[in-house]
Structure 1
Amino acid sequence: MAETHPAVCSHDCYDTCSVELTVNQDRIVRVAGSRLQPLTRNFVCYKVNHAVERVNHPDRVLYPLKRVGAKGQGTFQRVSWDQALSEVAERLQQIRDTVGGEAILPYSYSGNMGVLSEASMDRRVFHALGASELERTICTGAADWVLTAMFGQRLGPDPETIPEARLILLWGTNPMATNIHQVPLLDQAVQNGAEIIVVDPLKTAAAERYGYHVAIRPGTDDVLALSLGQALIRQNRHHQPFIARYTRGFEAYRREAEAWPLERAAEVTGVSLGVLETLVDRLATIRPLLIRPGFGVQRHRRGGRIIWTLAALAAITGAFMDRGGGFLLSNSGAFSLSQDRLTRPDLKPGTVRKVNMVQLGRALTELTDPPIQALIVYNSNPAATAPYQRRVLEGLAREDLLMVVHDSFMTDTARYADYVFPAAMSWEISDLHLSYWHRYWQWNRPAVAPPGEAVSNPEFFRRLARALHLTDPALVASDDELLQDALEGYPPEFRSRLRDQGVVKAGPKPEARPFVDTPILTDDGRIHLEPPPAAKPVDDFNSGPFCLVSPSARETIKSSYGNLPRVIKGPPILWMNPEDMSRQGLHDGEWVRVYNHRGQTVMQARSSDLPRPGVVVSYAVRWLSDHPYGGNVNQLTPDELSDVGGGATFYDARVAVEKWAGGSHVD
């Protein structure tokens, strides 16, 4: 008989949804939305509509595997857990004893956003090994640095107050694809009289839905924001009481903004002077004002500066003064965890080398003293998702590199592994889930048992620690003990309530205005308006005439779901503006070579008004094994770092496009 189970979606997504699973004969047969968490609104996104197919996929890794063919071929044989762990541990011990623990590198991100699955026992084991420390900055590095510098924390207004806003700037975000449960809140705001302006280089589904689209040139968001601030100050329409009471560094901000009068900004951003003047008037007259950017807007060389200009614009307009207004990028600061108790950095033997995950290819091919000799990958698929793909694949193909992968599927990365261990999925384990958009703690209980011999991330690393003969009690802690460490300082009643109810609201009450009714956690209790350090200019224009944007697709979470044929349909597409198609002598549906000095890939060109002229679009990210020519859009993306925070610069790619000499079609 079928039963329903409450659960939580573990994907790296703003929504962190509460879901309802239907289980029949120990098999998940349906996933539906749940009202247990109010923002879920009883529906699931396009991706999770296919989650049953993913969790029950016949290609799941069920047992430990050992490579028997060449790296990258994906040829493996089944072995026992004991054999695989023993052989891996022997190699790791040899590496640590001969060249040191820093020759071992973990690589992970947010393939499972559960508190225990993402960062708990894994961190303890790598600390104990003295491994190189991975700087996990690929998604939000620049933004995190700026939010901490300006506000002392990552906090924004409660999303449940969005319907109270009357002017909403969706800046570099497309909630129709990446934050679908925000859409009903935006629609309700419109019904209440709000105006929504979409600032984006692409004519996204959000721009189509809400109508007012400001088609900016990619990477010029800081210029646009500073020009609006400059005009507000020049016209004496900035919020002087808020600035005087809650901020410092206004004069430094003013000096930066003065360099960008509206006329000059119009030339740089591609936004007409008339539109800029209209934006200034809207910002000066409509309240509550909410500026809602997405994380994609900071994946540029000047990513930190872009976030600073947007947050500072919210400050000088006094947007924080109104309930429903302010600056909403992250609500991670609404949750408080004892991270040091959970991850135990005190287990490190001392200071260890840091390696930025954005530059994995460089780490594997260029680092010395010591070189990376072992790579352990989990919660990630860097062969497909890391930038400068050619360099990454060159590193993964090293025969002298011990490579271990813990995953549910034979991903592009797993095909290069020496050993692959089977990973349980989130609905097969218990875990605590937080959000970086809303403010609900959520507890997930297993609805079914993991298939085969699959185990959770914490259990995998407990087993690895035992095989390595690491004896510290912290390395054998149970999941319950890990959770207690994470929630140190919370009364037992809180943990009981969370487990019993499944959902508990966190952080300030919705009516509390961030940084007006809540503390500003900078050293002086003020919002810091001083600009971040400037980025060193990088001239990439010789790489090609087109700016390549590779946003998240509606159908996938980066490479997750990329192996489901019903989700990924048809050839890889390069969307081009009709003007550019005509200038290049291309016809709709023709195959093109897209290239720069980093690499190349082959796609089918499609004519669309999605990008403005001079911009081409390819949604991220296809599996390499699904691509007819073995390389996805990350063949073209840079691995340079953002101005602050060590963030990724995916959207600074420039490319050339030409008709593919191989013909018009692919068999």
Structure 2
Amino acid sequence: MTKTLVRATCPHDCPDTCAIHVTVENGVATEIKGDPDHPTTAGVLCTKVSRYIDRTYHPDRILTPLRRVGKKGEGRFEPISWDQALDEIASRLKPIAARDPQAILPYSYCGTMGLLQGEAMAMRFFHKLGASFLDRTVCATAGFTGYKYTIGGSIGTDIEQFQDARLIVIWGGNPIASNLHFWMRVQEAKRRGAKLIAIDPYRSLTAEKCHQHIALMPGTDAALALGLMHVLIKENLLDHDYIAQHTVGFEQLKERAAEWNPERTAETCGISVEEVVNLAREYGGTAMRGEPVAIRLNYGVQRVRGGGMAVRNITCLPALVGAWRHAAGGAQLSTSGSFPANRAALQRPDLLQGPRPRTINMNTIGDDLLRESSPGFGPKIEAVIVYNANPVAIAPDSAKVQRGFEREDLFTVVLEHFLTDSADYADIVLPATTQLEHVDAHLAYGHLYMMANNAAIAPLGESKPNTEIFRLLASRMGFTDAAFQESDDEMAATAFNNKDARAVHFDWESLKRTGWSKLNMPAAPFADGGFPTPSGKCEFYSSSMLADGLDPVPSYIPNYESVASNPELAAKYPLAMISPPARNFLNSTFVNVQSLRATEGEPHLDIHPDDAAVRRIADKEMVRIFNDRGSFVARARVTPKARAGLVVGLSIWWKKLASDGKNANEVTSQRLTDMGRAPTFYDTLVQVEKVEP
């Protein structure tokens, strides 16, 4: 028996990007563990990824190309050969491309975060084809944009420093479920005496374990940040030297914050005046004692109309109190901007010929698939190639998305491991490899390590890496450019720019051997200023925002849908709804792993006892959640974890695995955020009623 250990990397949409050891015996992966030497993974994998071998060898794995034989959505297919599949795809795409290649749309996101399997060869193919661009904004671009206006880029506190903070504010996230290795650092900080404060409408697993939980209403985070600024300025809890040297626009910020006294802030957020004042004093007072204060921002903050502004406002706080002076202070939304990824070399935008194609926003895919050709829109979408995504389950306003994919005149190709909700609507399904079966290079958005993934086993069945699938499609379409001949290793060798000081030590062959290598980054990135903004400073006043038609000073943008902002709608649908990730799923990945789904049980809706009593809903009864866009059913959990006026549906379930064939995205909206063209999943009003089983 031969037994080997292979260095790999978790590919999933999580800040942790864990280093993995895969044990392989006679060509079969038998064990998967966290790399004990990787400083952030520290030998620990989450519940989900620790089951990755179960997923790779799942009995429902697609191992041959498939052609649809039933109606769209039925999930009935017959196996065909790769030659048949590729010939059919090319025969359908060529006449569309001849008329207008913009009628072809890629749809992908972060089913894998790999720089190769996620984007490299696929983007080369679509650039050469001239297909419509996809605005890949379904997750975090609102916050990234607000953060960039203020800080200059997605750079923040190193996860390896957080254990030395004295106060940690976890704002809009549940790291126990979605950022486990950050939570391990937070627990160490707690053991060392740090205070933990969670700001979240929902009393999540994380909020339960913090010293304090502030349960504001969804979409009011920007107002809370302004209220904190008001108190910090009024009580002179400020680092005047840091403000003078490393910020611009303090006077304008001061004037705006004066409008947000604790009373107005508390009323807007649905919390107490004391919570506003005490949080500001805790944050500012700790910083004034020269102790590190850190904010871990997450994505729950930004999935509302004013989500970008909310992140901007929060990101102003560390500069006001000089928190960036400390390695363990400041803020982290994402570390992805620290990596000098060489995306032009990977994606080859130079392959695009002619004018830039139109852009389709992935959050409006429901409407866009149902549009006819028009001068303002361009050609009707005639073909969609889906990879690393499951739009029928994850895109907002799901009923429209489903109707779009039901179109008989829409040619749909899906690259997948399983027959997901989206794959059921495909004309052709192509079997893709999992992370254990291909090579990839990774950056991270929660730590500072360049990562390599080595293939641990040969591809199962007839599955192929995304890179190879798009090479084959390029060949069938007649693309002969040398860019389509490069191997995965050749592309990976260009993944990071080693002429950049941060990655001057990058060498792909060395990275494959070691598995990971840390960027050259200062311990405290903005201790002496040096922000990557136009001014080189933290911008309380942003000329770039003004040029883009936005308020250049932090402000509050109310939700599209809330009791305060839309009372007429709230009369029909009085409850706010959010749909954060379930602990055992990662977006819609892992939902079909039986052991993980069994732990989640079934779709649930958490509802406050007061809201349940008014509706005569008892614990464990089935309820219908609805608004003008649609409805879904779930089992009620009557609990104070959901604050009054709020219901929480942990997501994202495959629709086909829910009792009514629907999920929470039946009621979410295609409206976009204030900046970044991002989704507003948590900007949703609903009504809830009891239903008979």
Q: Same fold (TM over 0.5)?
A: yes
Q: Is residue 556 from structure 1 mapped to residue 582 from structure 2 by the alignment?
A: no
Q: What are the within-5 Å matches in structure 2 for residues 571-586 of structure 1?
A: 571-586=602-617
Residue 488 of structure 1: CA displacement? Answer: 4.6
Q: Is residue 224 from structure 1 mapped to residue 229 from structure 2 by the alignment?
A: no
Q: Is residue 34 from structure 1 mapped to residue 35 from structure 2 by the alignment?
A: yes
Residue 372 of structure 1: CA displacement? Answer: 0.5
Structure 2 contact 219–559 (Cα < 8 Å) conserved: no
Q: Which residue of 1 aligns with 2:10?
A: 9
Question: In structure 1, the residue corresponding to 2:399 is in which secondary structure?
Answer: helix
Q: Is residue 463 from structure 1 mapped to residue 472 from structure 2 by the alignment?
A: yes
Q: Which residue of 1 aligns with 2:152?
A: 152
Q: How many Å separate the matches in 1 of 2:366 and 2:397? A: 7
Structure 2 contact 498–505 (Cα < 8 Å) conserved: no
Equivalent position to 1:527, from 538, 543, 553: 538
User: Quick check: 630-639 or 268-277, which moved more?
Assistant: 268-277
Amino acid at match of 1:600: S
Residue 88 of structure 1: CA displacement? Answer: 0.7
Per-residue CA deviations over 1:427-449 (Å, capped at 9, x if unaligned) read: 11111111101001111111111
Structure 1 contact 432–444 (Cα < 8 Å) conserved: yes
Q: How many Å separate the matches in 2 of 1:549 and 1:246? A: 37
Question: In structure 2, the residue corresponding to 1:589 is in which secondary structure?
Answer: coil
Structure 2 contact 395–401 (Cα < 8 Å) conserved: yes
Structure 1 pair 230–408 and aligned structure 2 pair: CA distance change class (3 A): same
Residue 22 of structure 1: CA displacement? Answer: 2.2
Residue 605 of structure 1: CA displacement? Answer: 1.1
Equivalent position to 2:508, from 482, 495, 499: 495
Amino acid at match of 2:282: R
User: Quick check: 311-320 or 400-409, which moved more?
Assistant: 311-320
Q: What are the within-5 Å matches in structure 2 for residues 639-658 of structure 1?
A: 639-658=670-689
User: Quick check: 618-627 or 521-530, which moved more?
Assistant: 521-530
Q: How many Å separate the matches in 2 of 1:488 and 1:157? A: 22
Question: In structure 2, the residue corresponding to 1:610 is in which secondary structure?
Answer: coil
Structure 2 contact 195–211 (Cα < 8 Å) conserved: no
User: Quick check: 522-531 or 149-158, which moved more?
Assistant: 522-531
Structure 1 pair 252–362 and aligned structure 2 pair: CA distance change class (3 A): farther
Q: Which residue of 2 aligns with 1:142?
A: 142
Q: What are the within-5 Å matches in structure 2 for residues 226-265 of structure 1?
A: 226-265=226-265
Question: In structure 2, the residue corresponding to 1:210 is in which secondary structure?
Answer: coil
Q: What are the within-5 Å matches in structure 2 for residues 408-423 of structure 1?
A: 408-423=417-432
Q: How many Å separate the matches in 2 of 1:418 and 1:14? A: 34
Q: What are the within-5 Å matches in structure 2 for residues 286-435 of structure 1?
A: 286=286, 287-349=291-353, 350-366=355-371, 368=373, 369-435=378-444
Q: Which residue of 2 aligns with 1:567?
A: 596
Amino acid at match of 1:301: R
In the alignment of these two chains, the number of paired residues is 659
Question: In structure 2, the residue corresponding to 1:376 is in which secondary structure?
Answer: strand
Question: In structure 1, the residue corresponding to 2:460 is in which secondary structure?
Answer: coil
Q: How many Å separate the matches in 2 of 1:543 and 1:164? A: 48
Question: In structure 2, the residue corresponding to 1:375 is in which secondary structure?
Answer: strand
Residue 518 of structure 1: CA displacement? Answer: 6.7
Tell me the TM-score normalized by structure 1: 0.96
User: Quick check: 626-635 or 26-35, which moved more?
Assistant: 26-35
Q: How many Å separate the matches in 2 of 1:202 and 1:488? A: 41
Structure 1 contact 320–326 (Cα < 8 Å) conserved: yes
Structure 1 contact 577–609 (Cα < 8 Å) conserved: yes
Q: How many Å separate the matches in 1 of 2:515 and 2:358? A: 39
Give the unaligned 5+ runs of structure 1: none
Residue 517 of structure 1: CA displacement? Answer: 4.4
Per-residue CA deviations over 1:362-396 (Å, capped at 9, x if unaligned) read: 11012522010000000000111111000100100
Equivalent position to 1:506, from 509, 519, 528: 519
Q: How many Å separate the matches in 2 of 1:374 and 1:390? A: 19
Residue 252 of structure 1: CA displacement? Answer: 2.8
Residue 600 of structure 1: CA displacement? Answer: 0.6
Question: In structure 1, the residue corresponding to 2:441 is in which secondary structure?
Answer: strand
Question: In structure 1, the residue corresponding to 2:8 is in which secondary structure?
Answer: strand
Residue 234 of structure 1: CA displacement? Answer: 1.7
Q: How many Å separate the matches in 2 of 1:398 and 1:174? A: 38
Residue 489 of structure 1: CA displacement? Answer: 4.2
Question: In structure 2, the residue corresponding to 1:120 is in which secondary structure?
Answer: helix
Residue 639 of structure 1: CA displacement? Answer: 1.1
Q: Is residue 600 from structure 1 mapped to residue 646 from structure 2 by the alignment?
A: no
Q: Which residue of 2 aligns with 1:76?
A: 77
Q: How many Å separate the matches in 1 of 2:34 and 2:445? A: 19
Question: In structure 1, the residue corresponding to 2:370 is in which secondary structure?
Answer: helix
Q: Which residue of 1 aligns with 2:195?
A: 195
Residue 151 of structure 1: CA displacement? Answer: 2.2
User: Quick check: 537-546 or 585-594, which moved more?
Assistant: 537-546
Note the aligned Cα RMSD (angstroms).
Answer: 1.6
Structure 1 pair 495–49 and aligned structure 2 pair: CA distance change class (3 A): closer
Q: How many Å separate the matches in 2 of 1:543 and 1:562? A: 33
Equivalent position to 2:657, from 623, 626, 630: 626
Q: Which residue of 2 aligns with 1:659?
A: 690
Q: How many Å separate the matches in 1 of 2:460 and 2:330? A: 46
Q: How many Å separate the matches in 1 of 2:204 and 2:640? A: 10
Q: Which residue of 2 aligns with 1:638?
A: 669
User: Quick check: 103-112 or 265-274, which moved more?
Assistant: 265-274
Structure 1 pair 495–4 and aligned structure 2 pair: CA distance change class (3 A): closer
Amino acid at match of 2:527: V
Structure 1 contact 36–503 (Cα < 8 Å) conserved: no
